[in-house]
Amino acid sequence: IEKAKKQAFEILTKAKKDAEEIISQLKTVTPHDNERKRQGAIQAAREKLKRERSGLLEDLMEEVPLAKVAPQLVPGDVVYLPQFRQKGHVVSPVNAEGNVLVQVGIMKVTVAAAACQKTADGETGKTARNTGISAIAAAKAKHISTE
């Protein structure tokens, strides 16, 4: 956590320094200069910010290392997918290529089984439960007399 805080602080100070530099460059272009020169300075500042942002995104989206051994996955297991930073449910077993079909939210994605991290709450199969209105109706029906 300390490393992340330090990295965030460094990114913030660099962004502030860059913003101050861009503002000073734009102030040097006086209103007396022609419009084309002012627009050129603004465009150059935008391009510089765009390059910085893409560099930061590349740093943040680092490659997730794959596990050495693929976990034994069966349909119904709950897995964590680091590349999506989401939990998902295994839909189909591991195929011959070592891929598995996982449902993450409303998406179904095919990922390498080695990229899946089996979670502690990974129950196999689904358990049917009486919930909602049907449970209430069943409970009320038990207490009705048959007179």
Dist. CA 48–CA 51, nearest whole Å: 5
Asked if residue 86 and residue 54 are part of one domain, the reply reads no
Q: Burial, 115: exposed, middle or buried (Cβ in 10 Å; 0-12, 13-18, 19+)?
A: buried
80 contact partners, CB below 8 Å, separation of at least 6:
86, 87, 88, 116, 117, 118, 119
* Crossing angle of helices 2-28 and 35-60, rounded to 10°: 170
pLDDT the model gives residue 125? 46
Residue 19 located in a structural domain: yes
What domain range includes position 120?
Answer: 64-125
Q: How many domains does the structure of the chain reveal?
A: 2
Q: What is the pTM of this model?
A: 0.41
Asked if residue 72 and residue 55 are part of one domain, the reply reads no
The percentage of the chain sitting over the pLDDT mark of 70, rounded to a whole number, equals 74
Contact 74, 124 (CB under 8 A): yes
Asked if residue 56 and residue 72 are part of one domain, the reply reads no
Asked if residue 100 and residue 70 are part of one domain, the reply reads yes
Extract the tokens encoding 25: 């460059």
Q: How confident is the model at residue 82 (pLDDT cuts 50, 70, 90)?
A: confident
